[in-house]
Chains A and B, each alone.
Chain A
């Protein structure tokens, strides 16, 4: 047996207060399972943001439409990795597809994921980019030409009729996509919400709370990525776009906070047998990550910041900075939200008589290093996607401008690719 693991269990045993069942010393869902809902939340949120532009015709969000789609894709590619890495037998994961237990919420993961990736996201991106890919290809050389030819599946038709069809297809997929995005993340909420054995998780509100926190996280992430990439490209930030993002973020945060508050008050008022141990949890082990980071820094402060900046006459420079800081805080808050659900739900005993501890490993399969790697990976994938499928407005019509933009951003790589 792994001595490091045993030492860790011993340390955990030393930190137990009250009584826990002897098998509960080991905490089973680690930081990797925190990352999983964090990533899928970003996917669903970014996609819903993209849909705002397409379906609800929020024109101000035009500059972030494609960026949001690519962000969703980059995070979606990484989303199953923490799940896979966390399994005791990763090599048996395919059994979920071959012999799924239809009664199991987790067994549906593969299908929900495949549906979302194949039917929604990839299709929408493909139709949206198809005509551009064909046009870009004409000026491409070498690897890039091949890659784009492959991605466009050899498509050639840029006639107005074909482009009109693309548009229609995108519209249609977006409409299918919105409920799918709700499904993707609502489903993750259900995985936790349906565990009746765990009073911290078991709640019908869970999928809805997950959904709104997903929207919050997606909007703020796209805002951050738009901000940073635009600065890196030395372009002007579109202020009306940022304002729109900030407004949506603000409203989503309000709904998110209301739902959380509703959940909290409901529990307090019902005061079931678990209330005592949950109180100990909230005001003890989770005080920092829940009250301070998630609620105060991650929700209330951003709400105040956004309201102050959005609905006042500050200079644009100031506004932008405030939006940026608010979005960063929101990300930190959302990560704690996931932490508080996943880890928090395992810190108390199902005997409701005691608390245990989680000590994050540094190395190892479920350690901090792997977690950090999994959080960086989506950005690397996104960087690659941005090269192959530039989402910028200026890339859309004229490919010469595009290569200029890319040369500006990262001269060495751009030249080697084109």
Chain B
């Protein structure tokens, strides 16, 4: 407050001198122009994607929480832009999947006798966590079906929804094979992960990536050699979800189990 006042006072004093006014008058626009030159975002120069290292995820749910906060996703456990699933494979081959409240509070422990299947004498073969989100498909069925084009693929490879345009028909929700979309109960329009578009276009990381304590989530661009994602893509064996759907997802998983759908 006081700093503001001081600056204003200083400027007011300065304005009393005509030469100063001229100097300020020139500097202002020049700085603006310079800013426009460096900061302006050019979507065609980017092509975003995400990597998820299943073996690193500890199911803490921090990403789910961060996403809800960052993107103003409704609190209720029916609306998620990202969520975490837990897979428990038993020695008899049975697979159990859960995602209590999207995994936002983490998961109840399974190793002890209080976990029903274990209590019933079942033995666990392996368990793992799988974070999920919109795959920003390169061949997105949600975009194909939207009757008005409210869902679209931007030039930088991010699938977005224009909420001023969406008529709320929910065809896209039906068409997404991954359950990545929901209808925002407040706006009555389709909603889903944007890779934190408001952040990445400023050079920041998506909120979920930012908070992940184990770096299970890796963000970057395809084709850009210097991003961590590209290192991951070079070094690992990659999988995508439901490849037979031919949606060409751009969320790449390492160590993805065949059980994951």
A residues whose Cβ falls under 8 Å from a Cβ of B: 1-2, 5-6, 9, 13, 19-26, 28-29, 86-90, 92-93, 95-96, 99-101, 103-107, 109, 195-198, 346, 349-353
B178 interfacial by beta-carbon distance below 8 Å: yes
Partner of A95, one of B99, B101, B145, B165: B165
A23-B180, A87-B168 are known contacts. Are A1 and B76 too (CB-CB below 8 A)?
yes
User: Using Cβ atoms and an 8 Å threshold, which residues of chain A touch B11?
Assistant: none
Q: Report the separation of the CA atoms of residues A308 and B118 in the bound assembly, to the nearest whole angstrom.
A: 59
B121 within 8 A of A: no
In the complex, residue of chain A having the shortest beta-carbon distance to the beta carbon of B150: A95
Cβ contacts under 8 Å, A13 to chain B? 77-78
| Chain B 159-179 interface mask (CB, 8 Å, partner A; 1/0) | 000000111111101111111
* Bound: A58/B165 CA distance, A: 50
**Known interface pairs A104-B147, A197-B174, A350-B179. Does A89 touch B168 (Cβ–Cβ under 8 Å)?**
yes
Within 8 A of A (CB), among B168-204: 168-171, 173-183, 185-189
For residue A92, which residues in chain B have a CB less than 8 angstroms away from its CB?
A: 148, 165-168
Interface residues on B, range: 35 or more
Taking a contact as CB atoms closer than 8 A, the residue among A29, A104, A349 that contacts B144 in the complex is A104
Determine whether the beta carbon of A88 is less than 8 Å from that of B188.
Answer: yes
Answer whether A104 and B141 are a contact pair too, CB < 8 Å, given A29-B170, A88-B188, A93-B167: no
Please, which residues of chain A bring their CB within 8 A of the CB of B176? 197
Judged by DSSP, the binding face of B is loop
Q: How far is the CA of A58 from the CA of B179 in the complex (A)?
A: 51
Within 8 A of A (CB), among B132-159: 132, 141, 143-149
How far in angstroms is the closest Cβ of chain A from B142? 9
Closest to B151 in A: A101
The interface residues of chain A lying within 8 Å CB-to-CB of B179 are 20-24, 349-351
A21-B83, A25-B77 known; 7 other A-B pairs, CB under 8 Å?
A: A89-B166, A92-B165, A92-B167, A92-B168, A103-B144, A104-B149, A195-B175
A198 close to B174 (CB less than 8 A): yes
Contact, CB under 8 Å: B77 / A22:
yes
- Does B80 lie at the interface of the complex (its beta carbon under 8 Å from any beta carbon of A)? yes
A40 to chain B, nearest CB (A): 16
| Chain B residues whose C-beta falls within 8 Å of the C-beta of A6 in the assembled complex | 76
B174 touches A28 (CB 8 A): yes
Taken together as a complex, chains A and B put the C-alpha atoms of A87 and B189 apart, in Å, by 9
Q: Is residue B74 contacting chain A, with contact meaning CB distance below 8 A? A: yes
Inside 8 A of B78's CB, which chain A residues have their CB? 9, 13, 22-23, 25-26
Q: Does B178 lie within 8 Å of A350, measured CB to CB?
A: yes
Of B180, B182, B188, which is in contact with the most chain A CB atoms at under 10 Å from its CB? B182
B30 CB–A CB distance under 8 Å = no
Q: Collect the chain B residues with CB atoms within 8 Å of residue A196's CB.
A: 141, 177, 245
A109 to B148, CA, bound (A): 12
Q: Give complex CA distance A101, B165 in Å.
A: 12
Nearest residue, chain A, Cβ from B64: A22
Question: Which A residues are in CB contact (< 8 Å) with B132?
Answer: 21
Q: Which 4 A-B pairs have the closest CB atoms?
A: A88-B168, A21-B179, A88-B188, A197-B177
List the A residue with the shortest CB-CB distance to B182: A23
